[in-house]
Amino acid sequence: MKRKLLITLSLFIVLSVLTGFQSASANTLQQSLQSNLVPASKMELPAKTIIGFGEATHGNKQFTTLKLDIFKHLVEKQGYRVFAIEGDFGGGQKVNEYILGGSGTAQDAAKAIGFTIYHTEEMAALLSWMRSFNEQRDAKDQIHFYGFDMQRYDHNKNGLFSYLKKVDPARASKYEKLLTNLNDQTVYDQKIALVQEALTHIKSLMEQMKQNQSVYIAKSSEKEYELAIAFAESIKQNATLRGTNTNYGNTRDRYMADKVMWILSFEKKHYGRNNLFITGHNGHIEKTSTSAGITTCMGAHLAKALGDQYYAIGSEFYESTFLAKDTTTNERKAFTVKNSGKDRLAVLFAQTNMPDGFLDFSKAKHHQDLYTYLNKGQSISAIGDVFSGWYGKMEKMYTLQMVPAKAFDAIIFVRTATPSVMITD
């Protein structure tokens, strides 16, 4: 009896010591986090060739507002003038026209980006700020806007044929007809044979444009010609994604990285700009290719090309009610997710009771416990445009496994994220 009592007592003591150690360790970790966190409004960012911001969801107003906050910081304090988003390249050029004084409203411009996730009042506010900024600046000091995605046709075709009608009307008329089957209305359900046929036509057109390069430039300018080729390239890329057996996710991310590098080169050549801010989903911005089905993500391509001149900022929430397309009804509606688990950075942040926070991982190196923690794999929220109610009950359905300090250079936390406000017609 005494022996059993002694064993029980010994186990109790051991468990108490271990529990106390774990509690002390957790407290130390939380203290280290809190000492390194600053409010998002007080973030400091390095001067890098490209700074990327990844959003934990596409459907929260806070992550769009943070896009503006970060970009304003870079514009006002570090002289950045170029903004690029995970949106249609051709649509991005329509937005660029608007912020440079073109017609229409900020809401119209937001809708031109190409994806419903951007049809929000928060995005319209971001574009309104850009337009207001540009109204006070000379042309050489104005902000430019780009999309680096290629999953739409119409605005790219409009930009391409607007140019060709200027320099080669007969060829423009011919290829407008040949590319009729590449359009936004049927982009998701066009017959593959028709896409493949059109793909041969856009490739042929691009070859002819390159053969006539000097003639076209003489009738326009080098800048206009290069932009027209970029429109054509986006059309070709989308047709390749939808009409061939290529790995969609992997190829799309490579195309996006190529477009980002093209934007950087184009801006440097024609405007003397050396810096670029980009924004998209966490899974595209991060540098370690953890997205399911993607061999190398966009951020990994950029990190390989630029080294430490690519600075990636991730984002995370503790609890979020966001808008997404329901997988069962195809309707956009609100879903709610609350992160949990003792190993989650999101939960550790929530315990600080801060509404938001910016964590620079390089500064965390001075706290060994925190830095060790940031170099261990864990789940980071990465919610796209499509969701289902049961996803929220399975962490792996809405997160990516990442080593935070390797995937990103910094992270921004939002304790409670709320739905985007959709633009109403």
> Domains of the chain (ranges plus CATH)?
25-80+314-424 (3.40.1660.10), 150-248 (1.20.1440.30)
Percent pLDDT > 70 in the chain is 93
Structure tokens, 235: 């059309």
Task: Output the pTM of the full model.
Answer: 0.93
Please give the residue that has the higher pLDDT: either 57 or 4: 57
Longest CA–CA span in the chain (Å) reads: 102
Q: Do residues 414 and 356 lie in contact, with contact meaning Cβ atoms separated by under 8 Å?
A: yes
Contacts of 13 (CB under 8 A, 6+ apart): none
Pairing of strands 356-360, 410-417: antiparallel
Q: Do residues 392 and 340 lie in contact, with contact meaning Cβ atoms separated by under 8 Å?
A: no
Q: What's the pLDDT tens digit per position in 115-131?
A: 999 999 999 999 999 99
Rounded Cα distance between 401 and 131, Å, is 38
What is the pLDDT averaged over residues 375-392?
93
Q: Do residues 16 and 281 lie in contact, with contact meaning Cβ atoms separated by under 8 Å?
A: no
Report whether pLDDT(273) > 90: yes
Rounded Cα distance between 176 and 410, Å, is 46
Q: What's the pLDDT tens digit per position in 387-421?
A: 998 998 898 899 999 999 999 999 999 999 999 99
Please give the residue that has the higher pLDDT: either 341 or 387: 387
Q: Is the dihedral of CA 94, 95, 100, 105 positive or negative?
A: positive
What is the pLDDT averaged over residues 73-81?
97
Three-state DSSP at 232 gives helix
Report whether pLDDT(6) > 80: no
Q: Do residues 161 and 172 lie in contact, with contact meaning Cβ atoms separated by under 8 Å?
A: yes
DSSP codes joined into one string, 310-362:
EEEEEEEEEEEEEEEEETTT--EEEEEEE---TT-HHHHHHTTT-SEEEEETT
Would you state the pLDDT for residue 291?
A: 60
Rounded Cα distance between 280 and 114, Å, is 14
Rounded Cα distance between 112 and 211, Å, is 32
Report whether pLDDT(235) > 70: yes
Q: Crossing angle of helices 154-167/89-99, nearest 10°?
A: 70
Q: What's the pLDDT tens digit per position in 18-35?
A: 444 344 366 788 889 999
Model confidence at 342, pLDDT cuts 50, 70, 90, reads confident
DSSP codes joined into one string, 283-305:
HHHSSS--STT-SS-HHHHHHHH
Would you state the pLDDT for residue 28?
A: 83
Model confidence at 293, pLDDT cuts 50, 70, 90, reads low
Q: Which helix (H) or strand (E) holds 83?
A: strand 82-88
Which residue type, as a one-letter code, is found at position 304? K
DSSP codes joined into one string, 380-399:
EE-B-SEE-GGGGGSGGGTE
| Residue 400 dihedral angles phi and psi, to the nearest 5° | -120, 140
